[in-house]
A and B are shown apart, each in its own frame.
Chain A
């Protein structure tokens, strides 16, 4: 009798210990499968929700000096980047090639110092664009109309983002116009 009762008791105990937690988990979450398997995803939810993407807007470029017939100074290109997520994003140091859009000729390079984008905010960043001697020559010889330099330029390269050690390399093309008086 005792032996049988013990055997039955141990069997019931095994059953309760294996099925009990599963039933308790479902009961605690109101028998909802999704919330029982995985609860609040927190900031991860942002990544899966549609319409939330970082956006970049290029501003007005500004030369750091006078443009002359034989000198094209570096220019600053403002860039507004928005972070729609509830976690911070790191923009890594960037280095992108600068092309003359019309002739598809490399004319320089743009550099951007890395910055942390705070959650749900926009940050103003600035590319420092420097022209190569060949690039300067190309722009000053081919894109000066009257006494004005007018050219459509394009930054091409990989935009590097860092999210808690995960690195995203996104190919980017950012085009903008330069318009400046060429001083003799």
Chain B
């Protein structure tokens, strides 16, 4: 029977698919005041019903999509031909990219909420109560004599959790691939 790195054979196509599964995280302020959908591969921001563009974030998302598609292709090739001389190198390139993207994304979201809460407490002198990753809150801001009530909601979408599958399989494929080098 042909030798394969089964973890990589499954993880590769899933990685190729992942950038096309939509946003991982959504943020809503009010009812359409600000709508943000985000993942390492997707950026969609609407403010007051109109789209707001960021060339930098859009291109970075495009770069991340290309990176993951190429990683998936390399991982699949390396897993299908684990005994070839180039296999270990390609697998090393592709196996853990998603892990870093997932962890960085998670950290970014946690840091954004933490920074929001810290800055509100530091400069506005009032608790903002921003949730972490998911949840809803209604911060109340005092601006001069006026009071601003900001109902907001954050939620993680299924694609964020689905990304765990190729991520874990990618890491396992890298560990499993050692056996081909040792033999």
Question: B58 interface residue, CB < 8 Å from A?
Answer: yes
The smallest C-beta distance from A163 to any residue of chain B, in angstroms, reads 6
Query: Which A residues are CB-close (under 8 A) to B31?
Result: 164-165
| Nearest CB of chain B from residue A84's CB, rounded to whole Å | 14
Task: Report A15-40 residues with CB < 8 Å from chain B CB.
Answer: 17-18, 20-22, 24-26, 28-29, 35-40
CB-contact partner of A3 in B33, B59, B85, B151, under 8 A? B85
B55 touches A35 (CB 8 A): yes
Contact A170 B48 (CB under 8 A): no
Stretch of B13-21, B63-71, B161-169 lying at the A interface: B63-71
When distances are taken between beta carbons in the complex, the residues of chain A under 8 Å from B33 are 163-166
User: Does B54 sit within 8 A of A, measured CB to CB?
Assistant: yes
Query: Which residue from B50, B55, B63, B93 sits with its C-beta under 8 Å from A42?
Result: B50
A127-184 with Cβ < 8 A to chain B: 158, 163-171
Q: How far is the CA of A6 from the CA of B30 in the complex (A)?
A: 51
Is there a chain B Cβ closer than 8 Å to A7's Cβ?
Answer: yes
Q: Which of A7, A39, A166, A168 is in CB contact (< 8 Å) with B54? A: A39
Q: Is B32 an interface residue (CB 8 A)?
A: yes
Closest 8 CB pairs of A and B: A165-B30, A21-B63, A165-B31, A42-B50, A39-B53, A164-B33, A25-B59, A21-B59
Residues of chain B at the chain A interface (Cβ within 8 Å)? 29-33, 47-56, 58-60, 62-63, 66-67, 70, 85-86, 89-90, 93, 145-151
